Structure 1
Amino acid sequence: MDISALIDSLHPLEVKVLTAFGTRPPGTVLDSEQLAAAAELEPSQLSMAIEWLLAKSLIAVHAETVTPIVSLTKVGEQYVAAGAPIERVLAAAREASGTGKRLTIPDLQAHDGLDPSDVSKAIGRLKKEGAVLIVQGGCIESTGRPSQTVEALRTLLRQVRESSRELQSFPEAHRQVIEDNAVKRGNAQEPFRVDERVARSFTLSSAGAGAAEQLLKQGVAEEVSQLSPELLKDGSWRQKRFRKYTISLRAPRVGIGRKHPYREFLDTVKTKLMSMGFQEMRGSLVETEFWNMDALFMPQFHPARDIHDVYFVKQPTHATKITEPFLTRVAQAHQDGGKTGSTGWNYAFNTERAKRLVLRSQGTAVSARTLASAPAVPGKYFSIARCFRYDQVDATHATDFFQVEGIVLGEDINFRTLLGLLNLFAREVAQAKDVKFLPAYFPFTEPSVEMHVRHPRLGWMELGGAGLFRPEVTLPLGVGVPVIAWGLGLDRMAMVALGIHDIRQLFTDDLDLVRTMRGIF
């Protein structure tokens, strides 16, 4: 080891610690307090210097002792002033027994604002010690016997309040009371806190001994970090020690601003679709069941309308009205098919149910409203819709998510057109290399298909469904040409495009993850 180069790399605080050892006989062992006094350093400065020297293997830990120290929490301070709950419960029981009054648990809970959990814990301990009894009617009576816990707590609170003490300095019975009433994970409302005080002693390593010896021989010049005009004028720079700079170290990373990768992904999807000639559709997050489900030929007894699948709005619960003639036409399509050529679902359509307000559960609701607004034919429309469904959150599911919803209208539109568009989206937007289509069923499309892509880590996963809108959907809304529609999960597409394996990472506030997440395209 090059001692000279090593000494040149030392920080002034490290030099002080090594010098403090070097002025003592070889093999000297010093604890933290002795080192701080010898090196004339503050505890924080000494701590930094020791960690640096340990990392450089110039000093070594000779011994380490861990001492549990007992102190009072804020709850303990309150107990000193007002008495511990167990003491107050016992006092109330003795007072009631002395006056012949009935004392119940609700009486205790209302007494001086005692917490129910504290009352329950106190009664359990006092009953175990034989200080109280639970008699007929759930009343509490004092037996007149003393409580060892009450006496110990009263003594301990007074002693620890005067000064923090080592746990081992207490008798064994008192130590048990402290541990039973000390702050633990999941229970911070306790009077005592037991902290571990770590005391270490240090000695020089062989390399450290050599560095300390060299420092004493050559002396320690005052270190400066900047060459000033004054030092140059009088030549005093020759007697100074200049801090060395290691240019091989990596420069600190600068956290520059950037868009959240998922926000950037959504913007890119929108740009791509608009460049393909699609017009954007917009809709409200709160929707009626009519536009969210009824207009899509989903019967009112469909399981997707259950409270475990869709979020209902608490206030107001219903819209005031549904636009005509769409309400009447859709109701007829459900009941007997109306003028669609279908037999419908054969049930009595409930118009009040159709007015029920829900959080939009599918982007297709935006498409239904667009079809009812006299869209251009031929026409192409898309929407990036935030949707909400009750679901178990895991790596590929969330309770709120984005869908890219789209429709294409035209006389020559067919199923092959749909498959071509879906394949284009999977490869251009999700950057998927493997795509497959599987037959599916949806109440509002026929034929229907599901698109799956292969995630590099999670394997095959569904991106969403698509199909040709049924006449029961398009005709009541005033559209007489074929319409293809799709609703694809943008969150899952983003997982493939951004190279992440957990859908929750799309909404993370972990800045390191956001900064290191790969770009989009």
Structure 2
Amino acid sequence: MQLPASQVAVLEAVNADEATAVDALAAATELPPETVTGAVFELEDEGLVAVSERTDETIDLTDEGRAYADEALPELRLYEAALEAGAGDEPVQMGQVIGRSGLEGPQVDIALSNYARKGYGAIDSGEITADPDADPDADPEANALEILADTGETAPDAVEVGDETVEGLESRGLLERSESILREVTLTERGVTELMAGLETAETVGQVTPELLTSGEWDDVEFAEYNVEADAERFEGGNVHILRQTAERVKDVLVGMGFQEMEGPHVDADFWINDCLFMPQDHPARTHWDRFALAEPTHIDELPADLIADVERAHREGVGPDGEGYHSPWDADFARALALRGHTTSLSTRYLSGEQIGEIEPPARYFSVEKVYRNDTLDPTHLLEFFQIEGWVMAEDLSVRDLMGTFEEFYAQFGITDIEFKPHYNPYTEPSFELFGTHPTTGELVEIGNSGIFREEMLEPLGVDCDVMAWGLALERLLMLMYGFEDIRDIHGTLCDLELLRNTEVTY
């Protein structure tokens, strides 16, 4: 019987009494595993070997998981720091505890999101408490990390770690599962017969080359069969994040409604972020516990002197014959302080004042879909950074009815037709109202935005003498209404599921 050289080598390495793995055959024949796999399937088709398959699963720590196995989980470090700061007796400012813990960047978010969940204490209004009776030594995830760090890659049932703990570590990206198909080969009776009868190596060619074509030899050689059913290595390509896809869809909708897009800095002066919005400088939202200030540089070099004077006057004295202002401290140096913007309304003040692109004549419509940063407590609907859909319309004689109609038209583009409105207070808009939508799976009302008509005290210093209606909507909350997500962290941050991101299609 004539067979290709690779098949002859494999057939001679297999035996009828004991199954041999493909990897073992590759080592015995000194052929690449993929060549052996192809030869095995071809021999199986000829009835010379029998192939059995099984799927083996293994688990192993990721690099992040190994780092936490060495240094401790972020929530444990936060708990130890909280105890050291006295949070076991009374609430302590969260910033103080985070600084003592040495946590930085994403580790802070991870610690805060798991701290209360595991019963180590509570976080409320920028303060943290610690339960002195909590037992970090009994933390199942921490103990599992230690076990898996010592074990290395292993089968799930080979270690004493509960399935729930394994799933928790996997969802946090600290553990990864791997599946491999193990193929074992056994010689059949026909294979034994053919081996005893003797095999001849048939010269075959596995690839068409330019030389074969130009010389004409291709007509005389025997080509190896190509197995289109053979397994191939799987490559996971990149994909645009569902959040980014939806952001682009939002931009398309707003451009279609006649809006132009705004651009501006993520780091800006408090003057543009808050002072121009008629936000008093002693407002609680402007404390260092609620904003992310910059350490270097700390202040902006220049601001428009005339505009500073007009904004200060509005704060101190008010605007118009009935205006009173706040009668509260106002400091130009505080206005020059730099911070990560807490809302993209800083872009609106830059544009409305004419500072960004020059004076804008009504009617005009502008929007942005950009990131903002807030020192919030993490929960299913709040993150430290998220995307805000900012927008405003400048025109004569605008009303709340115009604003509500704009929202109804916008959200209808995403299949959302049950928007509800609730009166609200903002320092910079009057009247003001919040927007709510019904969650498609829980039926609960979810706050999705804030809006209103800009006050005269805000517009007059900016040089605007007509009505401006404006809003700030949450892009992530829009996704919750569109797809039924119950937790923002399912789509944003370190805990999101990559398979979900690969497979979820944007709804149009």
Say whether the fold is shared (TM-score over 0.5): yes
Percent identity, aligned pairs only? Answer: 32
State which of 418, 422, 425 in structure 2 corresponds to 1:438: 422
**Structure (1 or 2) with the larger CA radius of gyration:** 1
1:213 to 177, 192, 196: 192
Match of 1:354, as an amino acid? Answer: A
What are the superposed Cα offsets for residues 7-63 of structure 1, whole Å, 9 maximum, x if unpaired?
99x9975664443345xxx536889999678x543696899689989x9993679xx
Partner SS state of residue 476, structure 1: helix
| 1:328 has 2:312 as partner | no
Quick one: distance in 2 between partners of 1:31 and 1:503?
43
- Separation (CA, whole Å) in 1 of partners of 2:475 and 2:266: 17
The SS at the match of 1:58 is: strand
- Alignment partner, residue 227 of structure 2: 245
Q: Distance in 2 between matches of 1:274 and 1:29?
A: 65
Report the secondary structure of 1:475's partner residue: helix
Q: How far has the Cα of 1:317 moved from its partner?
A: 1.7
Q: CA deviation at 1:367?
A: 1.6
CA apart distance, 1:444? 1.3
| Equivalent in the alignment of 1:27 | 17
SS at match of 1:382: strand
The amino acid that maps onto 2:387 is F
| TM-score (norm. length: structure 1) | 0.57
Provide the residue aligned with 1:345 in structure 2: 326
Q: Provide closer, same or farther for how the CA distance between residues 211 and 242 of structure 1 changes in structure 2, counting only shifts above 3 A.
A: farther
Q: Distance in 2 between matches of 1:30 and 1:326?
A: 82
Aligned to 2:452: 467
Q: Distance in 1 between matches of 2:325 and 2:4?
A: 85
Contact map agreement 1:434 1:453 (CA 8 A) in 2: yes
Distance 1:320 1:51, change over 3 A: same
**How far apart, in 2, do the equivalents of 1:340 and 1:51 lie?**
92
CA distances 1:352-385 after superposition (whole Å, capped 9, x unpaired): 2222111211111222233323432232222333
Q: What's the counterpart of residue 164 of structure 1?
A: none
Q: Supply the distance in 1 between the matched residues of 2:437 and 2:5 (Cα, whole angstroms).
A: 60
Q: Who is 1:356 aligned against?
A: 337
CA separation of 1:17/1:407 partners in 2, compared to 1, >3 Å: closer, same or farther? same
> Is the contact made by 2:315 and 2:327 (CA closer than 8 Å) also made in structure 1?
yes
Matching residue of 1:4: none
| 2:22–2:184 CA contact under 8 A, matched in 1 | no
Report the equivalent of 1:482: 467
In 2, Cα distance between equivalents of 1:433 and 1:220: 75
Q: How far apart in 2 are the matches of 1:209 and 1:487? A: 72
CA distance 1:256–1:350, shift in 2 (3 Å): closer
Task: Please give the secondary structure, in 2, of the residue aligned with 1:331.
Answer: helix
Structure 1 Cα separation of the partners of residues 256 and 20 of structure 2: 73
| Higher relative contact order, structure no. (Cα contacts within 8 Å, ≥ 6 residues apart) | 2
Alignment of 1:311 onto 2:298: no
Q: Distance in 1 between matches of 2:455 and 2:331?
A: 22
| C-alpha separation in 1, matches of 2:20 and 2:380 | 53
Q: Does 1:422 align with 2:407?
A: yes
Alignment of 1:41-440 (within 5 A): 41=30, 58=50, 208-210=187-189, 212-213=191-192, 215-216=194-195, 219=199, 221-222=201-202, 223-225=204-206, 230=217, 232-233=219-220, 242-246=224-228, 262-339=243-320, 341-373=322-354, 374-392=359-377, 396-428=381-413, 430-432=414-416, 434-440=418-424
Query: What displacement does 1:425 show?
Result: 1.8
Give the C-alpha shift of residue 431 in structure 1. 4.4
For residues 219-277 of structure 1, the C-alpha deviation after alignment (integer angstroms, 9 at most, x for no partner) is: 465354368754744xxx6xx6842534x679998988876655454444334333433
Displacement after TM superposition at 1:427 (Å): 2.3
Residue pair 2:13, 2:29 contacting (<8 A) in 1 also: no
Cα pair 1:436 1:453 within 8 Å, conserved: yes
What SS does structure 1 have at the residue aligned with 2:420?
strand
Is contact 1:13–1:49 with CA below 8 Å preserved after alignment? Answer: no
User: Residues 411 and 14 from structure 1, CA distance in 2 versus in 1: closer, same or farther, beyond 3 angstroms?
Assistant: same
Shift of 1:290: 1.8
The alpha-carbon deviation at position 214 of structure 1 amounts to 5.3
Over 3 Å counting, the alpha-carbon distance change for 1:226 and 1:348 in structure 2 is closer
Matched residues in 1 for 2:224 and 2:382: separation? 59
Q: What residue identity is the alignment partner of 1:377? A: P
Q: Secondary structure in 1 aligned to 2:188?
A: helix
Root-mean-square deviation (CA), in Å? Answer: 4.9
1:446 match: secondary structure:
strand
1:126-151 per-residue CA deviation (whole Å, 9 max, x = no partner) reads xxxxxxxxxxxxxxxxxxxxxxxxxx
Is residue 333–residue 339 contact of structure 1 (8 Å, CA) maintained in 2?
no
- In the alignment, structure 2 segments of 5+ residues that lack a partner are 54-144, 155-182
Give the 3 Å change call, closer, same or farther, for CA 245–475 of structure 1 in structure 2.
same
Aligned counterparts of 2:52 and 2:239: Cα–Cα separation in 1 = 45
SS at match of 1:369: helix
Count of aligned pairs between the two proteins: 371
Distance 2:237 2:24 in 1: 45
Is the Cα contact below 8 Å between 1:17 and 1:49 reproduced in 2? no
Change in CA separation of 1:48 and 1:336 when aligned onto 2, cut-off 3 Å: same
Cα distance in 2 for residues equivalent to 1:330 and 1:473: 8
Q: Deviations over 1:322-381 (max 9, x none)?
A: 424433333333334243623333323223222211121111122223332343223222
Residues 393, 215 of structure 1: alpha-carbon distance in 2 compared, 3 angstrom cutoff: farther
User: Secondary structure in 1 aligned to 2:471?
Assistant: strand
Match of 1:448 among 405, 424, 432: 432
Cα distance in 1, alignment partners of residues 4 and 505 from structure 2: 39
Q: CA deviation at 1:406?
A: 1.5
| Contact persistence 2:10–2:36 (CA under 8 A) | no
Preserved CA contact (<8 Å) 1:289 1:355:
yes
